[in-house]
Chains A and B, each alone.
Chain A
Amino acid sequence: SQTIHQWPATLVQPVGSPLSLECTVEGTSNPNLYWYRQAAGRGLQLLFYSVGIGQISSEVPQNLSASRPQDRQFILSSKKLLLSDSGFYLCAWNPGQGAKQYFGPGTRLTVT
Chain B
Amino acid sequence: GQQLNQSPQSMFIQEGEDVSMNCTSSSIFNTWLWYKQDPGEGPVLLIALYKAGELTSNGRLTAQFGITRKDSFLNISASIPSDVGIYFCAGGPPIQGAQKLVFGQGTRLTINP
Chain A partners chain B: no
